[in-house]
A and B are shown apart, each in its own frame.
Chain A
Amino acid sequence: EVYLVESGGGLVQPGGSLRLSCAASGFTFSNHEVHWVRQVTGRGLEWVSKIGPSGETGYPDSVRGRFTGSRENAKNSAFLQMNSLRVEDTAVYYCVGRRGYGYGIDYWGQGTLVTVSS
């Protein structure tokens, strides 16, 4: 069974930094892309980052230049480094994956809450 477990969320002041981690198991991690998706409490879903099998990345305009995705295939782990955090970045952050190109998001972590507040 596939598991994605996020950690690293918490309370941070505006302008601060936080690093989220995602530990994966149950599939060949090095062959699959990993994404981060966030959800403001009671609101919709927003795609935040893509990390390809070889570390290639993609971001929406809302976080580009502030967020950096990375991975360590040997440790079956992915990361999201978040800098210059804003109040509007407050959300539950999910680490997600899929079986392959063309599939929807099959696998979701439980989410980790990031709160940006003074």
Chain B
Amino acid sequence: DIQMTQSPSTLSASVGDRVTITCRASQSISNWLAWYQQKPGKAPKLLIYKASTLGTGVPSRFSGSGSGTEFTLTISSLQPDDFATYYCHRYDTSPWTFGQGTKVEIK
């Protein structure tokens, strides 16, 4: 199975900071990658799909890039509502797999 390695596992940042999260696939997945945001006690919310396409209603400060095996999620200017856990997800073939998650904490 194709494995996803997400880093860092925890990130401490301040409001206004530029934040980057990385996800690496063990083999090429083209651009079949999504990013989600999850807050405690809630289901994840889709932010990005096809590596770089913004989900419906997602603020433009979120962006995704990459293809093949290396992908990034960038938050251009961190807002108070953005403190949460973020997951990458590959969906090129079964079985789908997710990254381990990155918790973005207040510095």
Contact = CB atoms under 8 A, between A and B. Distances in A.
A38 to B, nearest CB: 11
Given A45-B44, A45-B87, 4 more contacts: A60-B1, A104-B49, A104-B50, A106-B56
A105 B34 contact: yes
Interface of A: 35, 44-47, 50, 58-61, 94, 102-106, 108-111
Contacts, number: 55
Given A105-B34, A106-B55, A47 B98 contact: yes
Interface of B: 1, 32, 34-36, 43-46, 48-50, 55-56, 87, 89, 91, 94-101
Nearest to B49: A104
B43 A60 contact: no
Contact of A58 (B35, B36, B95, B99): B95
A95 to B, nearest CB: 10
A50 B89 contact: no
Contacts of A47: 95-98
Contacts of B98: 44-47
A44 B99 contact: yes
Nearest to A64: B95
B43 A111 contact: yes
A104 B95 contact: no
18 contacts: A35-B96, A44-B98, A44-B99, A44-B100, A46-B98, A47-B95, A50-B94, A61-B95, A94-B43, A102-B32, A102-B49, A103-B49, A105-B34, A105-B36, A105-B89, A106-B56, A109-B43, A111-B43
